[in-house]
A and B are shown apart, each in its own frame.
Chain A
Amino acid sequence: EAGVVQSPRYKIIEKKQPVAFWCNPISGHNTLYWYRQNLGQGPELLIRYENEEAVDDSQLPKDRFSAERLKGVDSTLKIQPAELGDSAVYLCASSRTGYEQYFGPGTRLTVT
């Protein structure tokens, strides 16, 4: 089966600009996660979806970050406006069971 697809793979923007990341999960996976991974660190959860519903967004900085998962399939994560500290790799993962997650290749964001 096809894996989790993310785009773009790399993005360089100036601070205060908006940016969006897209994720298409594995077919049939109802749970979708967005993580942020800072250099030399493990992934940190930003938001988790069960189908269309965001069931855990407690770690999402809501003043500048937003996410949506229309129709319960693919998802978009947006940052507006971006700050220097947002430079990181943004990972999308999906799961059928809620226990075992499958990750996409990530989007490496550089904010200058």
Chain B
Amino acid sequence: GDSVTQMEGPVTLSEEAFLTINCTYTATGYPSLFWYVQYPGEGLQLLLKATKADDKGSNKGFEATYRKETTSFHLEKGSVQVSDSAVYFCALSDQSGNQFYFGTGTSLTVIP
């Protein structure tokens, strides 16, 4: 079945460091891919998305490119801030849009 695997945390970075959180997926057909962010005590917020191969999703300085050849959707940010501290979830929606799969989440802590 379809699934998402993301790198385990926790990840701790200094402010202004470069961030990469790896995400790979297994799916048939052409899924849509998402990154969600969850701040402490809150629900998940959509951070960015990509619906087809080679699409780049971007928002708030974060980027991720849908790579079909490597079945990956890695999240990157060039310079993290303390306010980026949160848990990040990679997710997949199957081709029909009927099934949604989340990774286990990666906790990021950014220290001043």
Contacts and interface: CB of A to CB of B under 8 A. Distances in A.
- 4 closest A-B pairs (Cβ-Cβ)? A42-B102, A98-B97, A103-B43, A103-B44
Contacts, number: 51
Interface string B31-44: 01010100001111
**DSSP majority for the B interface?**
strand
Contact of B45 (A42, A99, A103): A103
B46 to A, nearest CB: 6
A97 B44 contact: no
Given A56-B98, A104-B43, A99 B105 contact: no
A66 interface: no
Interface of A: 4, 6, 33, 40-45, 48, 55-56, 91, 93, 97-106
A98 B93 CA distance: 9
Interface in B71-112: 89, 91, 93, 97-100, 102-105
B49 A100 contact: yes
Contacts of B34: 100
Nearest to A101: B100
B107 to A, nearest CB: 8
Nearest to B107: A40
A1 B101 CA distance: 26
B51 interface: yes
Contact of B43 (A40, A91, A97): A91
Contact of B103 (A42, A48, A103, A106): A42
